[in-house]
Amino acid sequence: MSTPTYPQGNGQAETSNKTMFDCLKKSLSDKKGKWPDKLPECVWAYHTTKGRATNETHFSLAFGSEAIIHPSVIVPSFSIILLSIKQNRKEMAINLDLAEEKREKVITCIAAY
């Protein structure tokens, strides 16, 4: 039962859980009962941090582009201010076209790793 489609059998589920637990433990320190408030931050960090084997983020492998925080959450950067909706749609279409190539590159990296 050790296949990529069965994460419990190949250790992926345990590895992901261990990483999330470590993140929560580091961010909580003495506030043990506040873990539900910190969980979204840890999930965001997990999905937007590059993996060692693939050198890609989980988010970019799934959606074909890097994740950014919505401009209303933080002070917008210069590039976000200049970006238009029309240009964003065009860039997203290009990123989706290149997603399959990125996944193939990652498969090669994993095999080499």
**83-92 residue pLDDT tens:** 777 887 888 8
Residue 75: pLDDT above 70? no
Query: Which pLDDT score is estimated for 30?
Result: 72
- More reliable by pLDDT, 47 or 81: 47
* Token digits of residue 11: 């250790």
Domain hosting 20: range is 7-112
The per-residue pLDDT for range 5-28, each reduced to its tens digit, is: 665 666 777 877 888 888 888 888
* Mean predicted confidence (pLDDT) in 36-58: 82
* Mean predicted confidence (pLDDT) in 66-90: 71
Does residue 25 fall inside a structural domain?
yes
Tally of domains within the chain: 1
Does residue 101 fall inside a structural domain?
yes
Per-residue pLDDT band at 80 (split at 50, 70, 90): low
Contact of 53 with 113, CB cutoff 8 Å: yes
Does residue 2 fall inside a structural domain?
no
Does residue 46 fall inside a structural domain?
yes
Q: Which residue has the tokens 């993140």?
A: 23
Decide: helix, strand or coil at residue 29.
coil
Decide: helix, strand or coil at residue 28.
helix
Does residue 23 fall inside a structural domain?
yes
